[in-house]
Amino acid sequence: MRQIPWARLFVLLVGCRVVLTLVVMTGISAGVVTPNGAQYRGTDPYGMWFLWDTYWYEKMALREWFEPLSASAQAFVDQAAHDPTFSQGAPDELHRFAFAPLFPLLAKPLALITGRADLALLLVSQAAAYGCVVMGWLLGRLHFGRDHAFATAVAVMALPVAFLLQAPMTEPVFIFLLMATIWATLTKRWGWAAVLAFALGLTRSTGFMVAIPIGVIVWHAEGWRLAGRAVWGRYLRALPAMLAAPAAWTLFCVWCKVMTGDFLAYNHIQRAGWGVETGPPWWPIIDVLTTQTRPNKWMLLAIVAVVLLASIIAAVWVKQPGYAVVAIVLLLLPLMMGDRWEWSILRYLAPVFPAALAGVAVWRISKLLGVVLLGCSVMLQLAICLLWQSPGLYVLV
């Protein structure tokens, strides 16, 4: 750990934040960005990052999580659990069951100390974002050597939706824990892998799926063998890491059961309050091909395909199929969200960090091509960031 260039990586993170802030502020001044909506804090360099779900995270960071439900909230849960057609905005007190808990809980102590939930959320998210940059460096050193470690960190920050690392949302925490869990698995740090995977399982509903790439990484490391006492001994050492994330989400569901009487309160509240209805992952593709729909949906599916392809290239290049599995798992689940998939797909693209490894692989073959690819990715990130900052336009994506 002493070899990590902590200061240089910190400058990289701060530099990216400064550039993104200047671009957005310029967009606001030029009228390109049209912020609106009740959940938008402001157009200053600080407030511009507080929009979308940050509104709910602030409230959750200040809420008493073990407060009993009111009669109206309990009635909402009961109806949502038993009536699939029920649809109504979820009361604020139920958001602690409709969002994964780790991010607002990490911010809660800081919110109590500072008296400002917004600042607490920002501090937690930026600490996690710094962790993402560090993990990018560590993964780059692991796969490409020390000479290309910093380039990998840069590639992580240049991904098209990496601007979300600057926002006080779950993405920085989730991405850091995912990268750290994969790194710990690759380096056989099983204790850390289990702890990190457990935390990952409490950060987002899709976190429990990390068990699959962990299993693939371990299986690949054993030469795809299943027989032999020594082999099974190594599998057993990895087993806690594979089970940690599913166990964490199960624990969250048990807590929902204790507090609301509904083990699947998360799913039912999401369906009733936000219209999140799961379906087959091929539905969005069929919808785009067979119906007259907004052309931007084509763009979103194209971005998903490119990110998936880049991740597969990275998996082949570094001979680690676990990276392809990470991408497939993380991109498959959002496509199962029914009509709501396009609202959040860009956020779900953010954790697919293996795509950055593909960029470094290209750069090692041709520095010119690598620079062109980096420039295109950065420009796309700036464009999507401006779109994300315009609630009235973002919903059209």
Please give the pLDDT value at position 293: 58
Please indicate whether residue 76 or residue 48 has the higher confidence score (pLDDT): 76
**121-140 pLDDT per residue, tens:** 999 999 999 999 999 999 99
Q: What is the mean pLDDT of the chain?
A: 90
Would you state the structure tokens that stand for residue 116, as one six-digit string? 């400002």
**350-359 pLDDT per residue, tens:** 999 999 999 9
Phi, psi of 5 (to 5 degrees): -80, 75
pLDDT at residue 393 greater than cutoff 70: no
Residue 304 lies in a domain: yes
Residue 1 lies in a domain: no
pLDDT at residue 36 greater than cutoff 90: no
Q: Residues 63-91: what's their mean pLDDT?
A: 94
Residue 195 lies in a domain: yes
Domain of residue 311: give its range: 6-394
Residue 126 lies in a domain: yes
Please indicate whether residue 335 or residue 162 has the higher confidence score (pLDDT): 162
Q: Residues 215-223: what's their mean pLDDT?
A: 95
Model pTM? Answer: 0.95
Residue 376 lies in a domain: yes
pLDDT at residue 361 greater than cutoff 50: yes
Residue 151 lies in a domain: yes
Percent of the chain with pLDDT over 70: 94
Q: Residues 245-270: what's their mean pLDDT?
A: 97
pLDDT at residue 46 greater than cutoff 80: yes
Please indicate whether residue 380 or residue 395 has the higher confidence score (pLDDT): 380
Would you state the structure tokens that stand for residue 295, as one six-digit string? 């052309």
Residue 156 lies in a domain: yes
Please give the pLDDT value at position 301: 81
Please indicate whether residue 301 or residue 14 has the higher confidence score (pLDDT): 14
Please give the pLDDT value at position 392: 55
Count of structural domains, the chain: 1
**298-337 pLDDT per residue, tens:** 777 888 888 999 999 999 999 999 999 999 999 888 888 7
Please give the pLDDT value at position 126: 97
Q: How many residues does the chain have?
A: 397
**261-310 pLDDT per residue, tens:** 999 999 999 999 988 887 777 777 777 777 755 666 777 788 888 899 99
Residue 173 lies in a domain: yes
Percent of the chain with pLDDT over 90: 69
Please give the pLDDT value at position 394: 53
